[in-house]
């Protein structure tokens, strides 16, 4: 079996290869890598898996889910494995997979270099009739299509990441153009080169003045043109922030809503935004818990599996207290 490469899959949709750094042609292409990393970091740190064996970690599982949308979990050689897969069977009566084949990143399942040979694994459907089954882990609700496959998070957010990077590039261009650069029209190429040299020398000096003599190139019949472009950086930045909020809303990350407001938001507006965010997070948490429940039913004698649990990273006492304090502050200000 060939090596698995999530970077190649991501490149198929985004033309951004995690291994080579190849970037899509974009006005803001210099910012795509940073914004992509931000999207990965935010989405891969929302859930905390508890009780995982040492060869697995929360960020590993979440990163694979970010790139692929769904994984399969099963026991191999007494160890819990959570890996990407291909569907090798048909769909059951409710449209879920019946058989899958796990896909290892290095072609091995035992931690070494020995290739593994795993037959197609029956998928656990809750009836408990399959021996050593695979349980399916979805990142979000499966995308509605004939194969019932889950759309990876990076695909869902990709256009917003590209659009945000594009806007950053346009903000830079707008700021540069708003400085009202002076254009000088020269009669020939020789005078152009000499004028460029003279002006660079003049502007690079610390002197607060420029002196030129009669007959110098700057006194030629060059035409001075004033290129004016108003500064719209603030409007563009607000548009960028709105796009960022929509991306965060899709990902279940706290945000200020699709329309970035300059004034303070009232409690009702914050509650509405929080509900949209929480619905995405609750969906992801429910699917992860469902995966763990299936594993526990399928492997009742495995201690590692029986000790698994998952929770929202933000769902802790400190953040709850901070949120309560903010809500109380809003209620006070709205009186």
DSSP 47-88: EEEES--TT--HHHHHHHHHHHSEEEEEEETTEEEEE-EEE-
* pLDDT of 1 above 50: no
In this structure, what are the phi and psi dihedrals at residue 143, rounded to the nearest 5 degrees? -65, 140
Domain total for the chain? 2
The mean pLDDT value of the chain amounts to 75
Distance of CA 134 to the CA centre of its chain: 28
CA angle 263, 266, 269 (to 5 degrees): 105
Of 4-18, 24-38, 126-140, 297-311, the range with the highest mean pLDDT is: 297-311
> What mean pLDDT do residues 266-277 have?
56
Q: Which residues pair with 76 in a beta bridge?
A: 79
Closest residue by Cα to residue 56 from 76, 80, 72: 80
Instruction: Give the pLDDT confidence score for residue 110 in this predicted structure.
Output: 63
Residue 313: CATH number of its domain:
2.40.500.10
More confident residue, 184 or 159: 159
More confident residue, 240 or 217: 240
- Find the domain containing 71 and state its range: 6-153+280-333
Residues 6+ apart with CB under 8 A from 296: 305, 306, 308
Report how far residue 75's alpha carbon sits from residue 67's, in angstroms, rounded to the nearest whole number: 23
Inside any domain, residue 203: yes
Inside any domain, residue 232: no
Helix segments in the chain, DSSP class H: 6-14, 29-43, 58-68, 153-177, 189-204, 233-251, 267-298, 303-306, 317-333
Burial class of residue 278 (count of CB atoms within 10 Å of its CB; 0-12, 13-18, 19+): middle
Mean pLDDT lowest for which of 16-20, 84-88, 140-144, 250-254? Answer: 16-20
Inside any domain, residue 124: yes
Task: Give yes or no: residues 137 and 191 share one domain.
Answer: no
In this structure, what are the phi and psi dihedrals at residue 7, rounded to the nearest 5 degrees? -60, -40
Inside any domain, residue 300: yes
Report how far residue 224's alpha carbon sits from residue 237's, in angstroms, rounded to the nearest whole number: 32
Instruction: Give the pLDDT confidence score for residue 222 in this predicted structure.
Output: 52
Residue 151 near residue 69, CB atoms below 8 Å = yes
Task: Give yes or no: residues 18 and 134 share one domain.
Answer: yes
State what percent of residues in the chain have pLDDT above 70.
64
Give the tokens for residue 141: 């609700």
Task: Give yes or no: residues 20 and 98 share one domain.
Answer: yes
CA distances from 245 to 190, 242, 254, 274 (A): 52, 5, 8, 12
The string of pLDDT tens digits covering residues 129-158 is 678 899 999 998 776 666 667 888 988 898
Mean pLDDT lowest for which of 56-65, 214-223, 257-266? Answer: 214-223
Task: Give yes or no: residues 110 and 53 share one domain.
Answer: yes
> What mean pLDDT do residues 61-90 have?
90
């Amino acid at each position: 079996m060939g090596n698995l490469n999530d970077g190649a899959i991501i490149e198929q949709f985004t033309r951004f290869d995690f291994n080579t750094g190849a970037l899509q042609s974009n006005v803001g292409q210099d910012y795509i890598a940073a914004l992509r990393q931000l999207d990965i970091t935010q989405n891969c740190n929302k859930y905390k898996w508890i009780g995982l064996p040492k060869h697995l970690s929360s960020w590993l599982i979440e990163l694979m889910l970010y790139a692929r949308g769904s994984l399969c979990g099963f026991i191999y050689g007494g160890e819990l494995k959570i890996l990407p897969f291909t569907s090798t069977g048909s769909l059951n009566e409710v449209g879920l997979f019946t058989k899958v084949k796990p896909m290892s990143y290095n072609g091995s399942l035992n931690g070494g270099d020995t290739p593994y040979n795993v037959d197609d694994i029956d998928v656990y459907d809750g009836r408990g009739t399959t021996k050593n089954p695979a349980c399916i882990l979805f990142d979000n609700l499966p995308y509605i299509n004939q194969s019932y496959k889950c759309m990876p998070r990076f695909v869902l957010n990709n256009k917003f990441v590209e659009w945000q990077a594009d806007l950053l590039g346009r903000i830079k261009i707008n700021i540069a153009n708003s400085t009202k650069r002076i254009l000088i029209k020269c009669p020939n190429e020789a005078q152009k080169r000499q004028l460029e040299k003279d002006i660079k020398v003049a502007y690079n000096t610390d002197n607060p003045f420029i002196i030129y003599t009669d007959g110098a190139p700057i006194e030629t019949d060059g035409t001075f043109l004033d290129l004016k472009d108003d500064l719209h950086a603030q409007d563009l930045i607000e548009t960028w922030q709105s796009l960022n909020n929509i991306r965060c809303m899709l990902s279940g990350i706290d945000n200020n809503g699709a329309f970035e407001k300059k004034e303070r938001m009232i409690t009702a507006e914050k509650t509405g935004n929080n509900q949209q965010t929480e619905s995405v997070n609750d969906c992801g948490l429910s699917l992860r818990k469902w995966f763990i429940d299936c594993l526990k039913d399928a492997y009742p004698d495995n201690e590692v599996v029986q000790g698994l649990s998952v929770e929202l990273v933000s769902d802790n006492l400190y953040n709850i207290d901070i949120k309560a304090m903010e809500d109380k502050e809003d209620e006070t200000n709205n009186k």
